[in-house]
Chain A
C-alpha cells in the first residue's frame, strides 16, 4: 500500500468538486434565478467535463506507466510513442472521410489509429530499444500521423473541417455531453482495469524479459496486451477530447517516486496523478478571459515541456554518473 495514495485521492475528490463548481459566480447567480437550470448546468455540462478530465487524466497516467514498464523506458508515453497522434488520425479519418458519426464507432477508429501507431513503433524501434531510438521513432510516427491528420482535414469533403476540429485537435473538454463521456470512459475503464491486473508481471519485467519468462510470465504476449489496451483506452478518449500531451509522461514519473521505483506498482498512483494533473489543467483553462477559450492541451504542453526537459537532463546526468 502506498502511504500517500489516500492523500492523493482526497486531493482528487476536492479538485473534482471544484471542477463541478467553478466558476462559482455564474452557478450562484443561476441558482437564484432558476435552480433547475443551475442543476442542468452541472449535470449536462460540468459533470461530463469533470468526468472526462478525471478519466482521461487517469488513462494517460496509467497507460503511460504501462508503456514505460513495457518498453523499459521512462520516456515512453502515449504522446511520445505516437499513439495519441495515431488515435487522432484514426478519429479524423473516421469522422471526415468515412462519415462515421456514432461515438462508439469513432472511439473504435481512434483505437485503430493508436494501435497502428504503436505497432509501427514496435516494428521501427523494437521493444527494448535505446531511449534515443524510441524517441526518434516515436517522434517520426507522431509527425507522420500529425501530417496525415492535417492532410485528411485539408482534403476533407467539408470545407470547414479544419475550423470545426481545431479545438478538438488541441485537446478540450468543453461542451462534451454525458453520452460522449460514457462512450470514451467505459471502454477506457475496462482497458485500465485489465492493465492494472498486469502490474505484478510488469514489475517482474523490471528484472528483464528472461527473468519474467522464467517465472512463468510471457513478456511478448504481455507487450501485445499492453499495446492493445493502451490503444483502446487512449483511442476512446482521443476520439472525444483530442490528443493531450505530457500527462502520460509526467504522471508515471511522479508515481514511481511513490512506489520506490517499481514500474508495475506505479500504475494506480500514475492514474491518480494523471487525473489530478488534467483536472488542474482544466481548472486553469477556466481562468481565461470571458469569451476566450484556451484548449487544455495548451496548458499541459506549457507545463509539460520544461518538466520533460528536466527529466531528459536528469537521465543524461545519471548516464554520465
Chain B
C-alpha cells in the first residue's frame, strides 16, 4: 500500500520525544495512551499546529510548506473540543472544510451522517454529540489524504460509535486516506487496523490491536490488567 504519512524525528518540547510514524493509504490507526501521554500533542504535531522539530510529509509533500487550499486536501484535523460559539448553520460548517464550494459533497455528507434535520440549524444550538457529527463531516469534506481525529468517538451513543467507525472505513478505502484517531475506550481499538501506544510522550508499542490488548506494555502504561470480565486496576498500581 502507498505511504500517506511519513513523520521523522517529530518533537514537541516537553510533550513529545522524537517520534517516527508511518501510515499507509486506507489504514485506520488508533492512538491510545493514559491521560497526558501525548496523544493530542502527537496529532497536533502531525497537523503542523505545533512542532518543535522533525519533518512531516503527507503523500511526499512537506505539510509546513503547503498553502491553506492544498493543506485542506492533504490533511484534516478534528480537535477534541466541540465548542462552537458562532451561530453558523451545520451546512455552512461543513462547507468550511472545502477550499472551494462543493454542494454535492455537502449533500452526500449530510445524508451519510444523517444530518438532514440539523443541516440548517445553528451549530451552537446543537447537542455535543450532534456537533461531533457536524465537525466530523467538516473534517471529511475535502477527502483529505490524512484524517487526524482527536477523540471522534467521545460524546457519541453506541449507534454513532459504530456508524462513525464504518464511515471512516468507507472514506479511507474510497479516498485512499489514512485515519489516525485518538481513542480512550480500549474496547474500540479492535475496529482499527493498527494501534499505537503512547506513554510519557513516546511511542512504546505499535502493533495489531489484538496483540496490543494482550501486551504487557499496555498493562504497564495504563496500570491495569485484563480479567475475564474486562479490565481491573493492577495490584500495587
Contact = CB atoms under 8 A, between A and B. Distances in A.
The answer on A and B forming one complex is: yes
Contacts of A73: 85
Interface in A256-281: 256, 260-263
Given A260-B92, A262-B92, A213 B48 contact: yes
Interface stretch (A29-37, A107-115, A214-222, A239-247): A214-222
Contact of B81 (A208, A260, A262, A318): A208
A214 B85 contact: no
Interface footprint category on B: 20 to 34
A321 interface: yes
A72 B85 contact: yes
Given A216-B67, A261-B89, A261-B122, A211 B84 contact: no
B86 interface: yes
Contacts of A167: none
Nearest to B138: A207
B96 interface: yes
Given A216-B66, A216-B68, A262-B92, A210 B85 contact: no
B47 A206 contact: no
Given A217-B68, A261-B89, A321-B125, A207 B84 contact: yes
A118 B92 CA distance: 31
A203 to B, nearest CB: 7
A210 B84 CA distance: 13
Interface stretch (B69-77, B107-115, B191-199, B202-210): B69-77
B180 to A, nearest CB: 13
B48 A216 contact: yes
A214 B77 contact: yes
A204 interface: yes
A159 to B, nearest CB: 49
B77 A210 contact: yes
Contacts of A321: 125
B96 A214 contact: no
B118 to A, nearest CB: 15
Contact of B88 (A72, A208, A261): A261
Given A216-B48, A261-B87, A262-B92, A210 B79 contact: yes
Contacts of B32: none
A279 to B, nearest CB: 28
Nearest to B70: A216
Contacts of B24: none
Residue of B66, B76, B86, B88 with most partner-chain A CB within 10 A: B86
Contacts of B50: 213
B68 A215 contact: yes
Contacts of A206: 84-86, 88, 96
A214 B49 contact: yes
A214 B87 contact: no
B96 A260 contact: no
Contacts of B125: 318, 321
Contacts of A211: 77, 79
B149 to A, nearest CB: 12
B5 interface: no
A126 to B, nearest CB: 15
A204 B96 contact: yes
B93 interface: yes
B44 interface: yes
A261 to B, nearest CB: 4
A74 B75 CA distance: 30
Given A210-B77, A210-B79, A215-B71, A318 B88 contact: no
B96 to A, nearest CB: 6
Nearest to A206: B86
5 contacts: A211-B77, A215-B71, A216-B68, A256-B87, A260-B88
Pairs of residues from A and B, 8 with the lowest C-beta to C-beta distance, nearest first: A214-B77, A261-B87, A214-B47, A261-B88, A216-B68, A213-B49, A210-B79, A216-B71
Given A73-B85, A213-B47, 12 more contacts: A204-B96, A207-B84, A211-B77, A211-B79, A216-B48, A216-B68, A217-B68, A256-B87, A260-B89, A261-B86, A261-B87, A262-B88
